[in-house]
């Protein structure tokens, strides 16, 4: 029998757009000799002591469920971490949930706070999952576009102008994916003033906190008056090179956590037990590894930004994460055309900026979480591609050597 499946599916689910990042990732994976600057994950393997702790846990037969919000021992380590690193105090007993990646923490936050039609401001360009997760939770995502002229920073005026009577919350992510932009304490404090004035909730995605290069990272919840209205999200994926472990965390005022925990109990039960043991080890003994990886990213960031500017692509220096977001306007191509033609002609995968929101058009995201040798080769190929489009930078011959 031929079924009309569209008839059975939820309207909201049907209307979701597939991730634009995946499309290029899948295309690149089907081709040979591709250098991928497309995917946002560390090129490092999780430090050995963390892996060993998870293996040991399995060997010892720790295969049962943990408490719903995670092992108390891990929640304690998380609160120690948040307290010593960012100066924010949480109670491990009722203010923390260990989630399946930061991804699930974001989902839980929106499900817990949104009623049908509530608007959530999303500072764009933005990580691709925010808007769909707002929609799934019944809210309405509202793009708040930042501009390249001020390095994709959100300004208080912009925020003030975007707020309506339906605005319930704002999603902040600094350092940002895809621009790498980070805001310093003064800039965040100005945002906090507007947040307080309009009684907004802040979902603060701090997944790149450990990968902030030039300034000290400030957690939004540490700002005066923000603790009570912030759902802080972080995770192990980026800083500890643990993307595949799928471990994240959220910290928030107890009434928020109580509601999020109900949803989490029914959908997930708990994060995998043996992996939680790995996470304890990460927080106890692995910050020197994080520091080493961070130094390496910083070196690569400097090299990539300098070289992109030399070969003819305007690129601001991002304060964090592991992405650069150069303008490709000099080529006259759209970002989709640029990414497609670069992949076909030179076998380098980047992500077209428009997948992160309209304000990303005219830009591409390149991840520099790959080896220096690969980056050098990718930039050489990009230079050849640019020259084929009539874009000539300075010192082009030197770079190609
Ligand atoms: N938030 C941002 C800004 C990201 O870039 C990513 C992953 O790319 C995530 C959240 C998801 O992280 P996790 O692997 O912890 O789910």
Contact 169, 195 (CB under 8 A): no
Cα(291) to ligand 1 centroid in Å equals 20
State the pLDDT confidence band at 1, using cuts at 50, 70 and 90.
Answer: low
Mutational pocket test of ligand 1: of 22, 38, 103, 123, the residue with most ligand atoms within 8 Å of the beta carbon: 103
Sorting pLDDT into bands at 50, 70 and 90, what band is 385?
A: very high
Rounded mean pLDDT of 78-86? Answer: 98
Tell me what the mean pLDDT of segment 344-349 comes to: 95
Model pLDDT, residue 240:
98
Question: Whole-prediction pTM value?
Answer: 0.95
Whole-number Å distance between alpha carbons of 355 and 368: 19
Selected residue with higher pLDDT from 201 and 150: 201
**pLDDT tens, residue by residue, 122-135:** 999 999 999 999 99
For the record, the structure tokens of 331 come out as: 């080529």
Distance separating alpha carbons of residues 14 and 20, to the nearest angstrom: 16
pLDDT at residue 337 greater than cutoff 60: yes
Closest CA to 315 of 347, 350, 358, 291: 350
**Cα of 301 from ligand 1 centre, angstroms:** 19
Report the pocket of ligand 1 as residue ranges, CB < 6 Å: 40, 101-103, 127, 173, 177, 205, 207, 235, 237, 243, 248
Mean pLDDT of 200-227: 97
Out of 19, 128, 180, 235, mutate this one to test ligand 1's pocket (max ligand atoms within 8 Å of CB): namely 235
- Cis peptide bond N-terminal to 63, omega within 30: no
Closest C-alpha to ligand 1, atom 12: 102
Residue 396 has pLDDT above 60, yes or no: no
Q: Which two tokens stand for residue 105?
A: 């923490």
DSSP-derived pairing of the beta strands 230-235 and 348-349: unpaired
Domains defined for the chain, CATH in brackets: 6-46+288-400 (3.90.1150.10), 48-285 (3.40.640.10)
Residue 274 neighbours by CB under 8 Å, 6+ apart: 54, 55, 57, 58, 62, 63
State the burial class of residue 97 (Cβ atoms within 10 Å of its Cβ: 0-12, 13-18, 19+). Answer: buried
Pocket of ligand 1, candidates 237, 250, 272, 275: which has the most ligand atoms within 8 Å of its Cβ, to mutate?
Answer: 237
Q: How far apart are CA 214 and CA 219, in angstroms?
A: 15
Of the listed ranges 19-28, 205-214, 365-374, the one predicted with least confidence: 19-28
Mean pLDDT of the chain: 95
Distance CA 242, CA 127 (A): 18
CA of 279: how far to CAs of 76, 102, 218, 232, 297, in Å?
12, 14, 23, 18, 22
H or E segment to which residue 143 belongs: strand 140-145
Give pLDDT, residue 398: 59
Structure tokens at 325: 């977001």
CA of 369 to the centre of ligand 1 (A): 14
Give the whole-angstrom CA distance, residue 123 versus residue 289: 31
Taking CA atoms only, the protein residue closest to ligand 1 atom 8 is 40
- Ligand 1 atom with the smallest distance to the CA of 100 is 16
Ligand 1 center to 80 CA (angstroms): 22
170 alpha-carbon distance from chain centroid = 15
Longest dimension (CA), the chain: 65
Cα angle vertex 127, ends 112, 370, to 5°?
135
Quote the ligand 1 centre to 207 CA distance (angstroms): 6
Question: Which atom of ligand 1 is nearest to 236's Cα?
Answer: 15
**Distance between CA atoms of residues 261 and 177, nearest Å:** 27
1 or 58: which carries more pLDDT confidence?
Answer: 58
Rounded average pLDDT over 298-305 = 97
310 burial type by CB count under 10 A (0-12 exposed, 13-18 middle, 19+ buried): middle
DSSP assignment of 247-285: -EEEE--HHHHHHHHHHHHHHTSSS-HHHHHHHHHHHHH
- DSSP string covering 317-336: --SBTTEE--B-GGGT--HH
Pairing of strands 140-145, 230-235: unpaired
Query: 266-294 pLDDT, tens per residue?
Result: 999 999 999 999 999 999 999 999 999 99
Q: Which of 112-116, 155-159, 165-169, 393-397 has the lowest mean pLDDT?
A: 393-397
Find out whether 354 and 336 touch, Cβ atoms under 8 Å.
Answer: yes
Mean pLDDT within 339-363 = 95
Q: Please give the pLDDT value at position 17.
A: 84
Task: Give the nearest ligand 1 atom to 127 CA.
Answer: 3
pLDDT tens per residue across span 10-23? 999 999 888 777 77
- Edge-to-edge strands of the sheet including 96-99? 96-99, 248-251, 230-235, 201-205, 167-172, 119-124, 140-145
Q: How do strand 248-251 and strand 230-235 relate by DSSP bridges?
A: antiparallel
Q: How far is the CA of 62 from the centre of ligand 1 (A)?
A: 28
Distance 400 CA to ligand 1 centre (A): 34
Q: Which residue has the tokens 């891990």?
A: 74
pLDDT for 148: 86
Pair 228, 251: CB distance under 8 Å = no
Cis ω on the peptide bond leading into residue 281 (within 30° of 0)? no
Residues 230 and 220 sit within 8 Å (Cβ to Cβ)? yes
Measured from the Cβ of residue 339, the count of other Cβ atoms closer than 10 Å reads 28
Give residue for tokens 């992405």. 323
Calculate mean pLDDT across residues 55-64: 98
pLDDT of residue 21: 75
Ligand 1 atom with the smallest distance to the CA of 235 is 15
Distance 41 CA to ligand 1 centre (A): 9
Confidence band, pLDDT 50/70/90 cuts, at residue 400: low
Whether the per-residue pLDDT at 84 is higher than 60: the answer is: yes
From 238, 247, 356, the mutation candidate for ligand 1 (largest count of ligand atoms within 8 A of CB) is: 238
Ligand 1 center–CA 102 separation, angstroms? 6
- Between CA 359 and CA 357 the distance in angstroms is 6
């Amino acid at each position: 029998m031929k079924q009309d499946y569209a008839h059975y599916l939820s309207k909201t689910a049907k209307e979701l757009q597939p991730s634009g990042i995946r499309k290029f990732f899948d295309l690149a994976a089907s081709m040979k000799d591709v250098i991928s600057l497309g995917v946002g994950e560390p090129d490092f393997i999780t430090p050995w002591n963390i892996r060993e702790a998870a293996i040991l846990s399995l060997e010892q037969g720790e295969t049962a469920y943990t408490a719903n919000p995670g092992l108390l021992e891990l929640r304690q380590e998380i609160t120690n971490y948040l307290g010593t690193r960012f100066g924010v105090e949480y109670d491990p007993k009722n203010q923390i949930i260990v989630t399946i990646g930061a991804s699930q923490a974001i989902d839980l936050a929106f499900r817990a706070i949104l009623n049908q039609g509530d608007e959530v401001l999303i500072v764009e360009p933005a990580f691709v999952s925010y808007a769909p997760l707002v929609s799934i939770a019944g809210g309405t995502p509202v793009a708040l576009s930042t501009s390249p002229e001020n390095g994709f920073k959100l300004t208080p005026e912009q925020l003030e102008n975007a707020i309506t009577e339906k605005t319930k919350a704002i999603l902040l992510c600094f350092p940002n994916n895809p621009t790498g932009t980070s805001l310093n304490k003064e800039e965040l404090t100005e945002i906090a003033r507007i947040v307080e004035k309009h009684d907004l909730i802040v979902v603060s995605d701090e997944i790149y906190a450990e990968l902030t290069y030039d300034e000290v990272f400030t957690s939004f919840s540490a700002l005066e008056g923000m603790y009570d209205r912030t759902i802080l999200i972080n995770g192990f994926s980026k800083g500890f090179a643990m993307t595949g472990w799928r471990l994240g965390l959220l910290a928030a005022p107890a009434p928020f956590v109580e509601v999020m925990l109900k949803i989490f109990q029914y959908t997930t039960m708990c994060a995998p037990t043996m992996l939680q043991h790995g996470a304890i080890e990460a927080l106890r003994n692995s910050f020197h590894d994080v520091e080493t990886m961070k130094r390496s990213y910083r070196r690569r960031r400097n090299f990539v930004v300098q070289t992109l500017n030399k070969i003819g692509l305007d690129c601001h220096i991002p304060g964090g994460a592991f992405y650069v977001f150069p303008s490709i306007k000099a080529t006259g191509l759209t970002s989709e055309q640029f990414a497609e033609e670069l992949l076909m002609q030179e076998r380098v995968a980047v992500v077209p900026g428009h997948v992160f929101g309209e304000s990303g058009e005219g830009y591409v995201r390149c991840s520099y979480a790959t080896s220096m040798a690969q980056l050098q080769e990718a930039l050489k190929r990009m230079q050849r591609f640019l020259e084929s489009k009539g874009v000539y930078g300075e010192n082009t011959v030197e770079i190609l050597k």
